[in-house]
Amino acid sequence: MENCCEGAGNFFGRQKNTNIRVSLPAVCFVWQIAMIILFGVFIRYNEESDVRKWIEFKHSHNITSDIENDFYFRYPSFQDVHVMIFVGFGFLMTFLKRYSFSGVGFNFLIAAFGLQWALLMQGWFHSLDPNTGKIYIGVENLINADFCVAGSLIAYGALLGKVSPVQLMVVTLFGVTLFAVEEYIILDLLHCRDAGGSMVIHAFGGYYGLAISWVLYRPNLHQSKRLNGSVYHSDVFAMIGTLFLWMFWPSFNSAITAHGDGQHRAVINTYLALASSVLTAVAISSMSQKRGKLDMVHIQNATLAGGVAMGTAAEFMITPYGSLIVGFCCGIISTFGYVFVTPFLEKYFKIQDTCGIHNLHAVPGMLGGFVGAIVAAAASVEVYGREGLIETFAFEGDFATRSVLTQGGYQAAGTCVAITFGLVGGALVGFILKFPIWGDPADDNCYDDEVYWEVPEDEETIPPVLEYNNHMIHKHQDISESNFSVEQS
Residues in 186-225 that interact with its own copies by CB under 8 A: 225
Residue 279 or residue 374: which is nearer to its own copies going by CB? 279
C-alpha dihedral (139, 141, 142, 144), degrees to nearest 10:
130
Q: Which amino acid is at 206?
A: G
Q: In terms of CB distance, is 71 or 349 closer to its own copies?
A: 71
Query: Which 329-368 positions form the footprint of its own copies (CB under 8 A)?
Result: none
Residue with smaller CB distance to its own copies, 5 or 374: 5
Contact 316, 121 (CB under 8 A): no
Amino acid identity of 400? A
The one-letter amino acid at 17: N
Kindly state the smallest distance separating residue 168's Cβ from its own copies, in Å. 11
**Whose Cβ is closer to its own copies: residue 398's or residue 458's?**
458
Residue among 215 and 247 whose Cβ is closer to its own copies: 247
- Among positions 123-142, residues that touch its own copies (CB under 8 A) are 137-139, 142
Query: Per CB under 8 A, which of residues 443..472 are in contact with its own copies?
Result: 448, 450-461, 463-465, 467-468
Pick the closer one to its own copies by CB: 421 or 447. Answer: 447
Interaction of residue 374 with its own copies, rule CB under 8 A: no
How many degrees, rounded to 5, is the angle at CA 81 between CA 79 and CA 85?
115
Q: What is the CA radius of gyration of the chain?
A: 24
Q: Residue 137: enclosing H or E segment and its boundaries?
A: strand 135-137
From 188-196, 203-211, 285-293, 350-358, give the range in contact with its own copies by CB under 8 A.
285-293
Under the criterion CB under 8 A, does residue 20 sit at the interface with its own copies? yes
481 scored as a contact of its own copies (CB under 8 A): yes
Cα(243)–Cα(201) distance, rounded to whole angstroms? 20
Determine, following the binding rule CB under 8 A, whether residue 32 of this chain makes contact with its own copies.
yes
Closest CA to 441 of 6, 4, 1: 6
Measured from the CB atom, the residue of 122 and 280 that comes closer to its own copies is: 280
Contact 54, 67 (CB under 8 A): no
Q: Which is nearer to its own copies, 428 or 455 (CB)?
A: 455
Whole-angstrom distance, CA of residue 421 vs CA of residue 424: 5
Per rule CB under 8 A, count of chain residues that contact its own copies? 168
CB of 207 to its own copies, least distance (A): 27
Subset of 90-129 contacting its own copies (CB under 8 A)? 90-91, 94, 97-98, 100-101, 104-105, 108-109, 112-113, 115-116
Cβ-contact 330, 308 below 8 angstroms: yes
Q: Of the candidates 237, 252, 370, 410, which one interacts with its own copies according to CB under 8 A?
A: 237
Q: What is the dihedral of CA 457, 458, 460, 466, to 10 degrees?
A: 50
Residues 300, 203: Cα–Cα separation, whole Å: 19
**Neighbouring C-beta atoms of residue 434, cutoff 10 Å:** 12
What span, in angstroms and rounded, lies between the C-alpha atoms of 404 and 441? 51
Phi, psi of 191 (to 5 degrees): 55, 45
Q: Which of the stretches 55-63, 345-353, 358-366, 410-418 binds its own copies when contact is defined by CB under 8 A? A: 55-63
Q: Which residue of 128, 190, 215, 279 would you call a contact of its own copies, by CB under 8 A?
A: 279
Chain-centroid distance of CA 239 in Å reads 16
Site membership for its own copies, residue 282 (CB under 8 A): yes
CA distances from 475 to 468, 469, 482 (A): 13, 10, 13
Which element (helix H / strand E) includes 43?
strand 43-45
Give the one residue of 160, 178, 211, 278 binding its own copies; rule: CB under 8 A: 278
The one among 3, 11, 15, 67 contacting its own copies by CB under 8 A: 67
Q: How far is the CB of 416 from its own copies (least distance, A)?
A: 28
- Smallest CA-to-CA distance from 467 within 456, 457, 481, 455 is with 481
What distance in Å separates the CA atoms of residue 10 and residue 8, rounded to the nearest whole number?
Answer: 5
Which residue number, 268 or 423, has a Cβ lying nearer to its own copies? 268
Tell which positions 386-405 bind its own copies, by CB under 8 A.
Answer: 387-388, 391-392
Report the site for its own copies in 308-327 (rule: CB under 8 A). 317, 319-321, 324-325
Q: Which of residues 247-276 bind its own copies (CB under 8 A)?
A: 247-248, 250-251, 259-265, 267-268, 271-272, 274-276
